Amino acid sequence: MEHSTDLPFRYVLTVSELTREIKDILEMKFPEIWVQGEISNLRSAASGHLYFTLKDELSQIRAVLFRNQARATRFQPEEGLEVICRGRISLYERRGEYQLVIEALEPKGLGALQLAFLQLKEKLEKEGLFDPLRKRPLPLLPQRIGIVTSPTGAVIQDMIQIIQRRFENVHVLLYPVRVQGEGASREIARAIDYFNEETDVDVIIVGRGGGSLEDLWAFNEEEVARAIYRSRVPIISAVGHETDYTIADFVADLRAPTPSAAAELVVRDKREWKRHLGQLEIRLEGGLWKILERYRSEIVHLQKALSDPRKRIEGYLLRVDELMGRLSVALRWKLQRHRERCFHLSERLSLRSPRSSVEMWRGKVGESQRRIVQALRYVLERERQRVRGLAGKLDSLSPLSILERGYSITRRVPSLEILRDASKVKEGERVEVKLHRGALLCEVEKTETP
């Protein structure tokens, strides 16, 4: 009995429908889970999404971190990093593969902010943003100070009071910004650029009061670090308490442990300046008195020396007469010595006249010239005879001389191959016979071989 396979109660699903139902079950079963594992096969798509595999010693699962969640992640996911993920299980219908859609990501054992801090610090340090050689000294006495901080906190009030108390003539320019929260880093960077481009401040203080790592995070952003680096004006970083360190502290020209300390570092106390100037005034006055006393002594000495200038002139005239007499005697003695030396040299030259030597060498030169001419003639004649002998040999060996004696050269046409054996030629072939004068183009009627 034949049974029908098309039963009316059978429920048939398409692949898409089955996949969709499995996806619904997975998403309903695992709407939110926490998973721990190691990042592997990390890949960043052009869309900004991050794809990787989350694995442990025995298993692995595909995971995706979409662009918005990736931007919200403080640290940079890296290959081999152990992480804890919060997400949901979903299924990618086109490939029928289930995956973990991550909503939040944090490193295992180390806070996300701390890891992001270390990653950015290492990156900027390699680029040279922390190089001590690029840090500039603060101006000795700034006239205009730019401050980047919150306008409502106690920090700005403390700094203004300290600056005005230490040196009341200094101008303070405040650029109000948010010092924490979303967009704070952008405002801080914009404030630094503004002070560089739109004002003539001598130094900039960037700071805020203490807080947690999350509260201070705006000063750990790369945007703020690069704004500090490109600043032409020296910058003091005064963020948090003495134990708090931010990326801005490493890039800035000077780190102050607190905002109040920054205000004390940026200007010296006016009373200290007055004391210092007073000491310089005393030293300058003492130095001037010493110089005046030395000049006074020299003037007194000159007055004594020039009290009767006529006597000094007479003494100089006597001295000149004495020197002129000694010079005249010395000149006469020198002239006599030179005269005697010239006389002796003249006698020696007359005894050693060069005329005889010149005549002797003239004869030797003439004899040498004659010998050279004879030698050249002999060499030329010998070489001429050798060339004639070689020319005769060449002429006897030349193929043209062989042709002149009645011989000929036979070559195959058209290859012009020289023929030496009659068996290599067939009847009817065309050959060229080269004679002493001209050539013959022949057709072979018969070949004879020995």
Structure tokens at 369: 């010239």
- Comparing CA positions, the residue from 263, 251, 149, 250 lying closest to residue 209 is 149
Q: Which tens digits make up the pLDDT trace of 52-104? A: 888 888 888 888 888 888 877 777 788 877 888 888 888 877 887 888 888 88
3-class SS at 410?
A: strand
- Rounded Cα distance between 185 and 306, Å, is 80
- Comparing CA positions, the residue from 206, 154, 204 lying closest to residue 177 is 206
Enclosing H/E stretch for 201: none
The pLDDT confidence band at residue 1, using thresholds 50, 70 and 90, is very low
Quick one: pLDDT at residue 109?
61
Amino acid in position 117:
F
Overall fold of domain 136-268:
Rossmann fold (3.40.50)
Contact 251, 220 (CB under 8 A): no
Mean pLDDT computed over 191-195:
93
Contact 129, 250 (CB under 8 A): yes
3-class SS at 426?
A: coil
Quick one: pLDDT at residue 309?
65
Characterize the bridge pairing of strands 430-434 and 439-443: antiparallel
Structure tokens at 47: 């869309």
CA 233 → CA 147, 240, 312, 325, distances in Å? 12, 22, 67, 76
Residue 353's CB is within 10 A of a number of other CB atoms, namely: 9
Assessment of whether the complete model's pTM goes beyond 0.85: no
Domain boundaries, the chain: 15-109, 136-268, 272-302, 308-346, 361-397, 404-443
β-partners of residue 105 are 85
DSSP code string of 116-173: HHHHHHHHHHHHTTT-GGGPPPPPSS-SEEEEEE-SSSHHHHHHHHHHHHH-TT-EEE
- Rounded Cα distance between 166 and 267, Å, is 7
Mean pLDDT computed over 351-373:
78
- Rounded Cα distance between 419 and 438, Å, is 18
- Rounded Cα distance between 394 and 261, Å, is 108
Given a cut of 80, is residue 12 above it in pLDDT? no
Contact 214, 113 (CB under 8 A): yes
Average per-residue pLDDT for the chain:
82
Burial (CB count <10 Å: 0-12, 13-18, 19+), residue 308: exposed
Considering the domain delimited by 15-109, tell me its CATH architecture: Beta Barrel (2.40)
Given a cut of 90, is residue 436 above it in pLDDT? no
- Rounded Cα distance between 129 and 135, Å, is 10
The more confidently predicted of residues 13 and 52 is: 52
